[in-house]
Structure formats: C-alpha cells, structure tokens
Amino acid sequence: MKLQKLLAPRTVAIVGASEKEGFGGDTCRNVLAYADRDNVYFINPKRDQVFGKKCYPSMSALPCDIDLAVLCTPQKTVEPLLREAASKGAGGAVVYASGYSEVGSAEGVKAEKDLKALCAELDIALMGPNCAGFINYIDRVVGFAFISEERDRTGSVGFISQSGQLCLSFMDNPSMRFSYAISAGNCSVVSMEDYLEYLIEDEHTKVVGLYLEGVTQPEKFERALRAAALKRKPVVVLKAGRSEKGSKVAASHTGSLSGADVMYDAIFEKFGVIRVNDAEELLATTQTFATLPELPEQTGFASINLSGGETGICADMGEMAGIEYPDFQDATLEKLRELLPSYASPANPLDTTATISYDADVYADVLQTVMDDPNIGLVVVGYTLLHEIADPCIHYMARGIEKVVAGDRSKPLVMLPFFENSRNPEYLDKLANLGVPVLPPPTYGFAALRHLMDFVRYEPDANTLELAVPKNDALTPVHRTLSEFESAAILREYGVRTPEGAIASSAVEAVKIADSLGYPAVMKIASADIAHKSDIGGVALKLADGDAVKTAFERIMKNAAKHAPEAEVDGVFVQKMLDPGLEVIIGANNDPQFGPAVLVGLGGIFVEVFRDTVLRPAPFTTDEARQMLAKLKAFPLFNGYRGQAELDVEALAEAVAGVAKLAADKRNDIVELDVNPVFVYEKGKGVCAADALVVMKS
C-alpha cells in the first residue's frame, strides 16, 4: 500500500457532490476554494452541475481514470463505491461515513473489519472511516469536509490528528501554515504511523505535529521516529491518556513507576520527539519550528524588551522554563552602552527602554550587537503586537528587524507578546515572511522555546535509536515469579554482581552455609510466590553467629507459613551480609507494545517515597546509562557531596547497561525485573545487588 494516490493524487472524484450543507456540499466548497479544480470530478447521479461545475452520474462515467475517491455518502454505499473506484484505477479513498468501530457495537466492529479486508483486496489506501479528511496545500488537493475561513494556509507544518475538530481548530488559527492537514479518523487501513512516515519523508514538510491517542504498529512507529531523528526533522506530539487509571497493579516497584504513559515519555526522549501538554503548546511549538528559517546553533538565548517590567517577566518565566540566558561578553556590553540611553543597564535579559524602538537603525544595531555575541544562539524580542496599531514603534522595530535579517550575521529571532490580544495581520505576515514567529504569551511562548532548546541539544548519534519490540504473542497474562536465587543467577550472566549464597532447607544446613560464607549473615525466605519478603517477616539481617542463624531460620519459616500459607517455599536463602552503600534501584518493565524499558533511581525503602527515577527504553549503551544517572536529582550524592567519598558511577552504569541488555535479549520472556537495593560503593569498589525479583511469562 502506497500513500501517493491518497495524499498526492493526480485526479480526484468527489462522490456525493452537493450544494447542501454537509459532507458532500462542504467538500465541494473546499474544492472550489483551495483545489486545483481541473483534476477534480464531481459525482452525483441526480445532478448535472454542482456550483456550476459539471457533475457525472458515476465514477464509471468519467472520461479518465482516477487516483483518489472521496466518498461523501452513507455507510451502506461505501463498499460498492470502493469497488467501482478501484475499477477506475483508484488507489486512495477518503471515507467520512461513521457507524464503524467508534460506535462500539458488534455490527460496527464487523463493518470496519470488512472494510479493512476489502481495501486489502483492492489495494486501496483508505483514510478513515469516521474522519474529516485532509488537505494537501502543496499540490492543492482537497478531500476535507469541514468549513473554515477562506485564506491561504500554505506552509510547512504537516499536521495529523485523530480528532477532526482539533484539526479544524488548528486550521482556524491565523498563525498556522500547512503542507498537509490530516484528520485521520479511525485509521482502520492507513494508520497514524503511516501518515507519520509519509510526512517525515516529505520534502515540503519542515515539522510534523501530531495529536495521538495511541499506537497500533510499534515497529513502524519506531522506524518513523528513527528516520525523523536522523533527518533532524522535529516531531511534536500531543499524546492523550496521561492518566494511569485502569493500569494493572505491578508486582515490582519498577512496574508501578513505569506505566504506559511514562513509557511514551521515555521513547520520545530517546528519539528526540517533543511532547507537549495541550493544543496551544502544540500550536506554538510547531509554528516556531516551521517559521524559523534555521535552528539556533547553540542554546544560549537573549531577551530584548522595551521596559523593566517586561524584562522581569522574561527573566522569571525564562528561568522557570529552563531557558539559558548567558551573560553578555564585555565587548557586547561596551557596544550596548554606546547604543542605549545612559539610564539603561545592559544585561541579559535586556531592558533597552522604549526610546530605541522609534529609531529603526539604532534598533537594528542593538539587535545585531546582541546577535554578534558568541554566547547567543537566538534572540527573543518582547513586544505585544496589537490588532489596531496606535503606538507607531512597531513600524520602526519591524524595519530594524528586516535590516538585520537581510544581513549576513543574522541569527534566529522570535517575538514574544505579554498579553493574548488579537495580532495585527499585516505585521503577523510581515514577520512570518522574515522568518520571525510571533509566539503566544510567556507561559506558552517559553514552553515552545524550551522545546526548541532541547531539540537543538539532542544528539541522535548519542542514542541507540531502536526498541526491543516483543513478538505480539510474547507477553501472556500468565506469569511466573522467579525466586531470588534464580533471579540472581540471571543477573550474574549479564555482569551484575550479586552476593554469594545458597538455599538451606533446615536450620542445621543454614548454619553450615553461614559458617562457610562468614558473618554477619543475612537470611531471606526462598519462594517465587513471595515477592516482597520483608512484608511477611521473611528477612533477617546482621546475624552474628550460628545461634542467631538457627533462630532466624525457624522464625522466617514460621512467618511464611502464617502469612503466606499458599506459597511454595524452597527454604531460606543464606548470604553473607553486604557492607552498606548508597542504595539504588535498577529495574525493567516490559511494555506489551514497545518492549522493555530500564529504570534507575534512588532505591531501598525510599524508591516510592522520593520517586527519583529515570526510565529509558532498552537497548542502550553504557554511555546512555551514564546520561540516565546524571539526570537523577540525587546524582550529587555520587560525586562526593559535602566531603563524602566519590562513588563508583562507572560500575553502576555498567550494571544498568547490563540489565538493559538482559531485558532486550529476553524481550519475549521477561515481564518485569526489580533489583533493589543495589549497593553502590566507593569509586573502584563496584556495586552489588542485594535483592532481586524477576517475573517471567509462564
């Protein structure tokens, strides 16, 4: 199945063409407003003309073959019309009709299944059903059924939405310019992943915006994101479903900390995808990437404003968003003192005072001076562009901006308003043509700038751009929890050090094992059916001699019989007690779609109290494991905080990478894994896993 005939067809038939309000009439109105009409044919057996354009009784009556059929007709007509379209060469179709799986009935589900099978038989790439359609603004192709204000929206944002109303709202925004606007509907044949792949490869699409409710083809999704990362093409996603309600209760700490939505966050970070929180942030971020002629070469930003109040807002809001405002170099400060009034104090963010905004040449000189500073990659001009212009300063500012942009030393530039007023359309277009996006006010504006900064920082080569996607039938609902003894054996295979030990079936045997290993000893109930041993009194620590070991054995077995009578008990696991160290958790949770992700963070009893963890999809390298550790809030503890000894970060990174390899290798077998605590010792002394839980599919 190829999407060329769907999204970039040479000839189009609008079936059900009409002058009435509704799918047929509104699609025709959009065709007349936006399409290349010479290659569009209206079909209606009851009309000779629609809006003055010739109308044919059927697709079979057309004088030529077609690439795309847009069906504006009820559900019951869809299948015979698709067969007719295929007989005329159609390889693409848009189906607006509802009544399929979205209604939740058995009949609707069957109808969609039958529709999918028919499209496979006919080799038709179908958009929908239950969709609003699309507009290809580059080739002027229209198969879209919602009406909006008529204007030119041609640009470089490829937008894909599983919500038709959200797609229309984006099209209604005066700032947005599109290569493609796609309302994909049920995606029964052509998936969101297919559209994403198409737009990532499309040379006219500079940035892809995506409203995503879910992924159905994880391997294709992975392939698309990898292509985007390697091409350095921004993908901005509004992903619905942050709530964890309804998620399964996991057996391990890792499972409870790495639910489905957190997995999406980890995947997006790995592939350099930008995740936004709402539609306004999606709009602001895609608009910023699309309008800027080039990305900043570095992440130091400068803010230039006309008043102290605006400068203070930019300083505070920028810092809250994580924006870097580097200090200006001495040469920059000296030049600014020459250009600015004596009562201005040059700094970054910069209050120029309003005086210079009435002199285009001086304003241009100030902008250029800031841009020439080696620490600056982008300039934020603070100014509220009103719909009705009363103060003429924007005229001079715009001329100054134009002068700088026309030069050979210009750097990326954005305008940031401080209030959400309607913007003057003349200057909105003028600035856009200069490559200067007008952002929303600070909360959303700085969010977009933070996304821009993070994208500039992202290095594809520093990431393992793959996922360990399991087979579809790999993770069954029947699971088997390994004993700690079995779990430790698997960890050792992948280079994770565990303490020596053995299972004792009697108190006498426990004493012999402890004598051979040395004291103090630690003892734990050995049972695959008891995940959290301390909760039932199944752990004894700091056992100093044989008498203590004997007493502990009897107590542990008694507690197990009392609190877990159904558990199958192998005995008691006897080990030499480890020296204390910084307690860390390493875990893995295997997502049914995307495969395993590995978690690392502050461990022990505090793992779910502080929740200081980082998650990354497997596989990944030791270098990437080091990056994970550096993101922990507790990371200063590893580097000799306040006179403490420096810890063995390298050994911990190797252990994390070892768990990632284990999880990736066993993607079809492992369900979840919890190594907690892992003791991290002084630099050069390594790490050791004190406890482990591994859950496998049965």
Give dist(CA 102, CA 372) in Å, integer: 56
CA distances from 415 to 300, 410, 597 (A): 16, 15, 40
Q: What's the pLDDT at 237?
A: 97
Encode pLDDT of 9-68 as tens digits: 999 999 999 999 999 999 999 999 999 888 999 999 999 999 999 999 999 999 999 999
Q: What's the pLDDT at 256?
A: 45
Q: What's the pLDDT at 163?
A: 87
Give dist(CA 248, CA 236) in Å, integer: 29
Q: What's the pLDDT at 559?
A: 96
DSSP three-state, residue 430:
helix
Contact 56, 42 (CB under 8 A): yes
Peptide linkage before 234 cis (omega within 30 of 0): no
DSSP three-state, residue 316:
helix
- Per-residue pLDDT averaged across 262-286, rounded? 96
Q: What's the pLDDT at 260?
A: 77
Burial annotation 592-620 (CB, 10 A radius, 16+ → b, else e):
ebbbbbbbbbbbbeebeeeebbbbbbbbb
**Share of residues in the chain with pLDDT > 70 (%):** 96
Question: Which amino acid is located at 684 in the chain?
Answer: G
Output the CA angle 99-104-106, nearest 5 degrees.
85
Parallel, antiparallel or unpaired: strands 595-602 and 582-591: antiparallel
Encode pLDDT of 625-646 as tens digits: 999 999 999 999 999 888 889 9
Q: What's the pLDDT at 641?
A: 83
Encode pLDDT of 438-457 as tens digits: 999 999 999 999 999 999 99
Encode pLDDT of 523-574 as tens digits: 999 998 887 888 999 999 999 999 999 999 999 999 999 999 999 999 999 9
Backbone angles phi, psi at 271, to 5 degrees: -100, 5
pTM here is 0.91
Contact 97, 68 (CB under 8 A): no
Encode pLDDT of 284-311 as tens digits: 999 999 999 999 999 999 999 999 999 9
Q: Which two tokens stand for residue 5?
A: 């005939």
- Which residues does residue 401 pair with via DSSP β-bridges, in sequence order? none
Contact 253, 608 (CB under 8 A): yes
Strands (E), 165-300: 178-183, 207-212, 235-239, 274-276
Encode pLDDT of 64-121 as tens digits: 999 999 999 999 999 999 999 999 999 999 999 999 999 889 999 999 999 999 999 9
Q: What's the pLDDT at 247?
A: 41
Parallel, antiparallel or unpaired: strands 178-183 and 133-136: antiparallel
Parallel, antiparallel or unpaired: strands 53-56 and 49-50: antiparallel
DSSP three-state, residue 223:
helix
Q: What's the pLDDT at 511?
A: 96
Q: What's the pLDDT at 144?
A: 97
Which of 440, 422, 442, 443 minimizes the C-alpha distance to 310? Answer: 442
Which of 584, 649, 576, 655 minimizes the C-alpha distance to 614? Answer: 584
Encode pLDDT of 126-168 as tens digits: 999 999 999 999 999 999 999 999 999 999 999 999 888 999 9
Contact 602, 610 (CB under 8 A): yes
Give dist(CA 30, CA 402) in Å, integer: 35
CA end-to-end distance (rounded Å), the chain:
38
Q: Which two tokens stand for residue 516?
A: 């051979």
Q: Residue 580 above 60 pLDDT? A: yes
DSSP state of 45: T
Q: What's the pLDDT at 245?
A: 45
Which of 401-410, 474-483, 580-589 comes out lowest in average pLDDT? Answer: 474-483
Give dist(CA 484, CA 693) in Å, integer: 6
In SS3 terms, 78-138 reads as HHHHHHHHHHCCCCEEEECCCCCHHHCCHHHHHHHHHHHHHHHHHCCEEECCCCCEEEECC
Encode pLDDT of 650-660 as tens digits: 999 999 999 99
Give dist(CA 175, CA 532) in Å, integer: 55
The residue with greater pLDDT, 256 or 139, is: 139
Q: What are the chain's domains?
A: 4-240 (3.40.50.720), 293-457 (3.40.50.261), 502-573 (3.30.1490.20), 582-697 (3.30.470.20)
Contacts of 664 by beta carbon, 8 Å cutoff, 6+ apart: 468, 595, 596, 618, 619
Q: What's the pLDDT at 391?
A: 87
Q: Which two tokens stand for residue 144?
A: 């879209």
Contact 207, 158 (CB under 8 A): yes
pLDDT bucket at 383, cuts 50 / 70 / 90: very high
In SS3 terms, 526-595 reads as ECCCCCCHHHHCCEEEEECCHHHHHHHHHHHHHHHHHHCCCCCCCEEEEEECCCCCEEEEEEEEEECCCE
Which of 215, 212, 183, 210 minimizes the C-alpha distance to 199? Answer: 210
Q: Which two tokens stand for residue 392?
A: 């003429």
